[in-house]
């Protein structure tokens, strides 16, 4: 019989989730996502940020001690607190809906009817399977249905959904669906070109490969419109 794992479900309740060892490894190594929405417990927001940081600090201190690190050393003794703050306030701040960017829409008074493209948006996220970085570029386009959005808000939307444990396919779809809802149009395109540290620093250790994912909806499902968008994001626009 193959070994199994029992995993905790929450601080208040515990269920036994039995996975074969090779299935646990396969999900991580193949970067498989199980849902479009970020998997969150019903009680995900019952604790304050300060309470979460206090708990993470203690848990991470335990990890470091288990690894044999000397936490009395000046360089290490503040690390659990720093990691806790980084997790809650920075790299995973997109888990908290209170951090969702406020987005104001404006009437398209000048009747701009062509696609608007925001390319090369810097993207930093973390793989949910190994909690190591994903980094790359996002490219977004939309065709206005009567409303337009400030350019910087497109960057903020990308950053909001990236700041959570992610799978690249899910991240791409979350950005696309959010823009559809905000702009009240189906005419959205999203392409993400990213590198995964879980591929380059562990497992296969391939330092050259990149992953490209896309979301095309509405008019962008038309091949001519899609080709126009791809042409724009491949233009050399550096000055």
Q: Which of 127, 166, 178, 214 is catalytic?
A: 127
Question: Is 135 found in the same domain as 217?
Answer: yes
- State CA 212 to chain mean position distance: 14
Tens of pLDDT, residue by residue, the chain (239 residues): 444 444 444 444 444 445 566 565 555 555 566 678 999 999 999 999 999 999 999 999 999 999 999 999 999 999 999 999 999 999 999 999 999 999 999 999 888 999 999 999 999 999 999 999 999 999 999 999 999 999 999 999 999 999 999 999 999 999 999 999 999 999 999 999 999 988 878 777 778 789 999 999 999 999 999 999 999 999 877 65
| Residues spanned by the domain of 31 | 4-99
Question: Is 220 found in the same domain as 158?
Answer: yes
d(CA 137, CA 120): 5
Pairing verdict, β 147-149 and 105-107? antiparallel
- Give the list of residues 6+ apart from residue 88 with CB closer than 8 angstroms, or none: 49, 52, 53, 56
Question: Is 79 found in the same domain as 14?
Answer: yes
- State CA 111 to chain mean position distance: 33
Encode 35-53: b = buried (16+ Cβ within 10 Å), e = exposed: eeebeeeeeeeeeebeebb
Active-site residue flag, 214: no
Query: Considering 81, 99, 117, which residue would you say is the last residue of a domain?
Result: 99
d(CA 167, CA 165): 7
Collapsed DSSP state (helix, strand, coil) of residue 152? helix
Adjacency order of strands within the sheet including 165-166: 165-166, 116-127, 133-142, 188-196, 211-216
Query: Considering 54, 80, 99, which residue would you say is the last residue of a domain?
Result: 99
Q: What is the pLDDT of residue 26?
A: 56
Question: Is 224 found in the same domain as 156?
Answer: yes
Tell me, what CATH number does 15's domain have? 1.10.286.10
Helices (H) and strands (E) counted in the chain, each on its own, are 7, 9
Q: What is the pLDDT of residue 202?
A: 79
Cross-strand pairs, 235: none
Picking from 143, 142, 146, the residue whose alpha carbon sits closest to that of residue 157 is 142
Query: Considering 41, 68, 99, which residue would you say is the last residue of a domain?
Result: 99
Question: Is 124 found in the same domain as 92?
Answer: no
42: which DSSP letter?
Answer: T
How many folded domains does the chain comprise? 2
Active-site residue flag, 127: yes
The token pair at 84 is 């806790």
Active-site residue flag, 198: yes
114: which DSSP letter?
Answer: S
Tell me, what CATH number does 131's domain have? 3.30.1130.10
238 within domain boundaries: no
Q: Which of 159, 166, 168, 174 is catalytic?
A: 168
Give yes or no for a contact between 107 and 147, defined as CB atoms under 8 angstroms apart: yes
d(CA 21, CA 3): 6
Cβ-based neighbour number of residue 137 at 10 Å = 16
d(CA 230, CA 130): 31
Question: Is 114 found in the same domain as 57?
Answer: no
Q: What is the pLDDT of residue 23?
A: 63
Q: Which of 129, 166, 174, 214 is catalytic?
A: 129
- Give the list of residues 6+ apart from residue 73 with CB closer than 8 angstroms, or none: none
Active-site residue flag, 129: yes
Active-site residue flag, 130: yes
d(CA 136, CA 196): 9
Q: Which of 57, 178, 198, 214 is catalytic?
A: 198
List phi, psi (to 5°) of 193. Answer: -120, 110
The token pair at 156 is 């903020």
């Amino acid at each position: 019989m193959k070994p199994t794992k029992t995993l905790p479900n929450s601080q208040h309740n515990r269920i036994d989730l039995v996975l074969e060892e090779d299935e646990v490894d396969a999900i991580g190594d193949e970067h498989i996502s199980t849902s479009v929405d970020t998997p969150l417990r019903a009680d995900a927001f019952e604790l304050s940020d300060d309470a979460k940081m206090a708990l993470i600090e203690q848990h991470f201190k335990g990890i470091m001690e288990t690894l044999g690190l000397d936490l009395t050393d000046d360089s290490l003794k503040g690390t659990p607190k720093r990691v806790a703050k980084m997790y809650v306030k920075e790299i995973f701040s997109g888990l908290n809906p209170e951090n969702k960017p406020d987005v104001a829409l404006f009437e398209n008074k000048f009747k701009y009817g062509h696609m608007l493209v925001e390319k090369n948006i810097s993207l930093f996220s973390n793989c949910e399977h190994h909690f190591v970085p994903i980094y790359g570029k996002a490219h977004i386009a939309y065709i206005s249905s009567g409303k337009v959005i400030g350019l910087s808000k497109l960057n903020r939307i990308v950053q909001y959904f990236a700041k959570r444990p992610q799978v690249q396919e899910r991240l791409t779809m979350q950005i696309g669906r959010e823009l559809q809802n905000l702009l009240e149009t189906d005419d959205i395109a999203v392409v993400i070109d990213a590198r995964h540290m879980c591929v380059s620093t562990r497992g296969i250790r391939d330092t050259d490969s990149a992953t490209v994912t896309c979301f095309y909806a509405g008019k962008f499902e038309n091949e001519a419109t899609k080709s126009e968008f791809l042409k724009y994001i491949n233009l050399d626009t550096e000055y």
